[in-house]
Structure 1
C-alpha cells in the first residue's frame, strides 16, 4: 500500500535514477491540465528534497507556461520491470532559462543535448509510493533518436526561431517566459 515521506531517501533515489521515463504534471489556476512524458538522460536528484530536469524542445511548452502562474508540480515514475512501484514527487518548481545565472551550473549536470530549452528546478515536499500492481511489464529497447537528430539538424538559430513560433505561448494562450 501507499506510503508517504518528506524526503527522497537512498532507495527512492536509486529507483528514480534507474527509470527510463518519467511523467510531469502541471496546471495553471484555469485552463488545461498538462501531463507530459519525459525521457533521455534529463533528470538529476540533487538532494533529499531537490530534483532538476532538462526540458527539451517540443511541440508545446505547457509546463513553463503553467509554472508562470502556479508553481505546483508532480513528477511520477512507474516501474515497468522488476518489483511493482509507482512513485510521485510533489512540490513546487521554477523555470531556469539560459539567460539565468543558475543555468551554467545546472546545465553542466547533463550531457550536451541539442534543443535544451529550460531546466526545471523542483523543490520536493512530499514523496509518495504506491503499489503499481496494475502497471504492465514493458521492455526497454532504446532511446528514440528522432528529437536529438531533428534538433542537431536545425542548429541553434533555427531552434530559436521554432521557439519563437511554437513555444512562446501555451495551448491556452498563456506566456511561457521564452
Structure 2
C-alpha cells in the first residue's frame, strides 16, 4: 500500500492532537524498553520513542516510501530499525516487545483477531499496547465513521487475548487513546 501524500500524516493539527510526547509518557516507557511502532508512517512516534529508550525501536510499515522517510529522518539515530512488513504481519521475535504502538492503523487491519494474536505473541509478559485511533463518529479528519473502530470494540478485541485496559482517554475531537497490558504468563 503506497500513500499518495505521506506528509499529510504530519499536518500541524493532527500532530497537535496526537500530542506525541505526552501520549508516549502515558504509555510509561522505561529507559530500556524495546518498542514496536506498527504502521509507523513517517516515523513521528518512532523518532520520539527512540529518545525515551536505549532499547531498539522497530518501525514497521507496508509502504517502502514511508520507511525511506523514517530512514532519512533517523540516519543519525542508532536505536531505530525500519522493517517492511506484509499486510497485518509482525516480523519480530516472540516475547521481544515491551511496548507495541498502533497509531491510526487499527481501523485498517483486515483480520483484527489474527493480528492481535500476533501482537500478543511478540509482547513480553506485562508488555503494553498503545492504541490511538479515530472516534467512531464523523470528525473533521480521518476515514468515514463506518470504517472506524470504537474504543470499546478495540479494547474488546485485545481483551479476548488477555490484553487488558489500563488507561483510556480522548486526545481531542478526532482521536482516542487506549493503553492496555498483556497479563503475565
TM superposition score category, shorter chain reference = under 0.3
Q: Which has the higher contact order (CA 8 A, sep 6+)?
A: 1
TM value normalised by structure 1: 0.26
Q: Which has the higher strand share?
A: 1
Q: Which has the higher helix share?
A: 2
TM value normalised by structure 2: 0.25
